Amino acid sequence: MKNPFRLPRRANLSRPWRWLVPVLPVLLVLLFLAVLLWLPWQARQMEANERQEQLIADTLWVEQTLRFELARSEEALATLGADLVAGLPTSVPAPDALQARFAQMFKNGPELRRVLWLGANGALLARHGMDPPAAKPQADGVETHDMARLTRAGRYTEPYGATKQAPGLVDYYLPLFQDGAYAGSLVAAYDLKVLLDETVPWWFAQDNALTLLDRNDTPLATRAAGGPGRGVYTHRRPLDLPGASIVLVTDSVKGAPRLLPNLLVGSVIVLALGLLWSLLALWRHISRTLAAESALRQQMAFRTAMENSLMTGLRARDLEGRVTYVNKAFCEMVGLPPEELLGRKPPMPYWAPEALGEYEERFAGVLAGTITPQFESVFQRSDGVRVPVLVFEAPLVDSHGRQTGWMSSILDITDRKKAEELNRQQQEKLEAGARLATMGEISSMLAHELNQPLAAISSYTAGALNVLERADKGVPVEPVLLRRALEQARQQAQRAGQIIRSVHEFVKKSEPKRETVAIDSVIDGVRALIELQTRQSYVSLQIHLPPELPPVLADRLMLEQVLLNLTRNGIEAMMDAPPERRILRITASNDEAQVSVSVIDHGHGIPLEVAERLFSPFFSTKAEGMGMGLSICRTAIEFHGGTLTHAPNPGGGTVFTFSLPRPAATTAAVELQ
């Protein structure tokens, strides 16, 4: 069965990929940021590549242009050369016409610096233009010339003459043939700087620095209209002239593209950083929330466990009396599941029919806002069993201090009630027992106290009978003796009656009849009885009383009984003593507070183990003893606010002393009058 008191588990706790939930957004954002940072870099790369490609294409184009210009010039030279050798050896071109053609050529190709016409034997036949500032190396020229003749094709020399101030030059040897036979050469010198200046368009020169290099990378000619190149975008392209190794180098004046070329990329990065920051903040917030949630769950679990383990029933009700909460103990108390209680309004299913009036009256109080903070009631469990309960009610207050209902804690007091009932029954039994004990006590006391007067009566009547028996034998009757014996027997009979009344009063625990009593008169009252015993036991009785002994406020009969008990014990203690030590003394003394009477014997004394139990009822060391005497004496003396003590007699035996408080002087005076 589902336990409604158990805390619901979170469904996804066991999923293995749960840890991804907080990590995934972070991973995605990091990926997003990486892409964002990569994009500008990629754009820059693309731009750089594009520029490089553009430069390569432009360089190619320039190279083509240079090649085209030189090719055009070669063609013009070839045409001229063909014309020159056509009429040989018969007709030689007129020098003026030749110069005019040269001039025309120089006009069309400003890069031309000088043209030589050499005959088949190497003699200079004509020339035009200025000599180059530097002379080309002789060997190179001869070699080129020979190669041109051999290959029957035009050929360039290696560039030469380049200095810091002067640009480099290159010569072109064009072999001329007539009818297959070598007929001379045309040698043209090109100024490479002019070639660059004239051939490369200005807009290209504006964006790029152009340099022509020889095979040793020595600059031959440079054109840098837009300033020196940055060295970022460069391209080398050989001019591919037969015999000459000239490399065209272009170097863009543009630098590398900037990483943050525009506001857009900047703002994207700012946004990304903002996003990262807010994500971190969100993450922290989520972590805190998760921690708080976990702490709350723990607390909830603890609270639920606590409520479930409580023995006290808990019940909450709203202001209309509807049950809003019950704990396990309450449900067990009324034997109903929480579903049958929550949301219920009175009459409740656990109300016992016989107490409906009480419930309704109390519920009306709850609705009116007046509660009884603590009361006892009874619930009817679902199986009909009545459960006595103790209910504590208190207002239920929310966190804003508003009262939202009532909270009750309910204690099942079945056990307490049972214990109370048991207690009551035991009390009754005890009382009955006590009554029985009291009756036993009365009979014991009576038996004990009546012993002496009855023994005395028996002794007096035996005396009287003796007198009468003697009369039967003819001895004259002594009426005085007879009367005295009968008188004594009558007195003892009266005394027995008084004892019975007194014991009855004593057992009823009614106040003793107190009167002002003089100690010597008390002793006189029992003297005859004491002497009766001392005579029988061969004990001599000595009574020493100070003359001015003040009276006490006491029940005379009780004091007499005490004296009789103490003297009888003293006499019995001396039964085994030698006759000369059998002396029983009664003394008295007084101080401002009390009057004390001591009974002193020379008997066997009281050993320690006997002393411990001396005053316990029914404790006796004698074969015939009842063990009530000292117990009665102590009770009687304490009844009068006095004390009864015993001490060893220094001369052997025991001293029993009772002390009674002296009445206040005035009271005593009044009483005495």
Longest dimension (CA), the chain: 240
* Among residues 629, 634, 657, 663, the one that binds ligand ADP under rule CB under 6 A: 629
Contact status: 584 vs ligand ADP (CB under 6 A): no
What is the number of other CB atoms lying within 10 angstroms of the CB of residue 391?
20
Nearer to ligand ADP, 444 or 659 (CB): 444
What is the number of other CB atoms lying within 10 angstroms of the CB of residue 239?
20
Contact status: 573 vs ligand ADP (CB under 6 A): yes
Contact 125, 184 (CB under 8 A): yes
Cα 364 to chain centroid, rounded: 43
Region from 6-14, 32-40, 410-418, 601-609 binding ligand ADP, contact rule CB under 6 A: 601-609
Contact 560, 522 (CB under 8 A): yes
Contact status: 313 vs ligand ADP (CB under 6 A): no
Region from 21-29, 477-485, 555-563, 628-636 binding ligand ADP, contact rule CB under 6 A: 628-636
Contact status: 601 vs ligand ADP (CB under 6 A): yes
Number of residues in contact with ligand ADP, rule: CB under 6 A? 22
Length of the chain: 673
Cα–Cα distance for residue pair 537/359, rounded to 1 Å? 81
Nearer to ligand ADP, 148 or 644 (CB): 644
In DSSP notation, 59-127 reads: HHHHHHHHHHHHHHHHHHHHHHHHHHHHSTTT----HHHHHHHHHHHHHH-TTEEEEEEE-TTS-EEEE
* Among residues 275, 371, 493, 626, the one that binds ligand ADP under rule CB under 6 A: 626
Cα–Cα distance for residue pair 635/506, rounded to 1 Å? 10
Contact status: 652 vs ligand ADP (CB under 6 A): no
Region from 96-104, 326-334, 390-398, 606-614 binding ligand ADP, contact rule CB under 6 A: 606-614
* Among residues 55, 241, 559, 630, the one that binds ligand ADP under rule CB under 6 A: 630
Checking phi first, is residue 129 left (phi over 0); if not, alpha (psi -120 to 50) or beta? left
* Among residues 178, 596, 620, 635, the one that binds ligand ADP under rule CB under 6 A: 620
Contact status: 621 vs ligand ADP (CB under 6 A): yes
Shortest distance (Å) from residue 669 CB to ligand ADP: 36
Supply 484's token pair: 């005295």
Region from 69-77, 209-217, 500-508, 562-570 binding ligand ADP, contact rule CB under 6 A: 562-570
* Among residues 211, 654, 657, 659, the one that binds ligand ADP under rule CB under 6 A: 654
Cα–Cα distance for residue pair 185/166, rounded to 1 Å? 27
Question: Is-cis flag, bond preceding 347, omega within 30?
Answer: yes
Contact status: 570 vs ligand ADP (CB under 6 A): yes
Query: What end-to-end distance do the CA atoms of the chain give, in Å?
Result: 94
Nearer to ligand ADP, 204 or 656 (CB): 656
Contact 187, 172 (CB under 8 A): yes
Region from 77-85, 256-264, 584-592, 604-612 binding ligand ADP, contact rule CB under 6 A: 604-612
* Among residues 271, 610, 647, 664, the one that binds ligand ADP under rule CB under 6 A: 610
**Could you list the residues that contact ligand ADP (CB under 6 A)?**
565, 569-570, 573, 601, 603-604, 606, 610, 614, 619-622, 625-631, 654
